[in-house]
Amino acid sequence: MTKNNIYVLLICLSLLNACANKQTLNSMDDIKPNKINNPAQQERLKQDNVIELVKFYDSYTSLTLDDQKKTYTDMNEALMENKNNLSQRIKLAMMLSLPSSRVRDNSKAQILLQNLLQENNLNSAEYALVNLLYEYTLDSTKQMQKNRDESKKLEAAQSKYENLQQKFDALEQKLNDLKNIEKTMNDRDIKPANKP
């Protein structure tokens, strides 16, 4: 065989191999996760779904404000059509709960995450992610409430300080007035004593 024949044969084998792999990959896409009997494959699909969710968040945070709002609106519309899509519901919860989101709303996120956890439709990896988000929103809500309480205390202390400062200034003014009166009286007493 000549070198050219070997190259042609290698190229043909490579193409056949690529076609066979593509057919195998296409047939894997047609398999539903619940029809897979191999537990390792099921676990891999579960992990892939969570990885997809994390990648979504990563790409979502790099969007502009308008793009984030558009994505949020699109996700809400898609959920109106299919309320049972767990992946989209988790993505919506991520948009509502995480700090780099411009559409953040902890109370809505908590409700959505709590519903997801209570339905028991999540696999273990999804459950762990949703539970983590839920705990984060709870902690975030507690921290925001603590900050509001501290802010109110600070405002009350500031108001009390200003009132005390006004009282101090008024007392200091009265003290200065009394000193001036005393000085005037002393000056008056000294002048008659100096007369011969």
pLDDT in tens, the chain (196 residues): 455 545 444 454 454 455 444 444 444 444 444 455 566 666 676 677 788 888 888 888 888 889 999 999 998 888 888 888 888 888 999 889 888 888 888 889 899 999 988 888 888 888 888 899 999 999 988 998 999 999 999 999 999 999 999 999 999 999 999 989 888 888 887 776 555 5
Query: What pLDDT was estimated at residue 188?
Result: 81
10 in Cβ contact with 86 (< 8 Å): no
- The total number of structural domains in the chain stands at 1
Q: Is residue 8 part of a domain?
A: no
The angle subtended at Cα 100 by Cα 98 and Cα 103, nearest 5°, is 75
Q: Is residue 125 part of a domain?
A: yes
Q: Is residue 111 part of a domain?
A: yes
Q: Is residue 175 part of a domain?
A: no
Q: What is the pTM (predicted TM-score) of this model?
A: 0.58
Query: What pLDDT was estimated at residue 17?
Result: 53
Q: Is residue 26 part of a domain?
A: no
Q: Which residue range is the domain that position 150 belongs to?
A: 43-155
Q: Is residue 162 part of a domain?
A: no
d(CA 97, CA 95): 6
Query: What pLDDT was estimated at residue 192?
Result: 63
Query: What pLDDT was estimated at residue 119?
Result: 87
Q: Is residue 183 part of a domain?
A: no
Long-range interactions of 53-59: CB distance < 8 A, separation 24+: 53/87, 53/90, 53/91, 53/94, 53/126, 53/129, 54/129, 56/91, 56/94, 57/91, 57/94, 57/98
Query: What pLDDT was estimated at residue 31?
Result: 46
Q: Is residue 195 part of a domain?
A: no
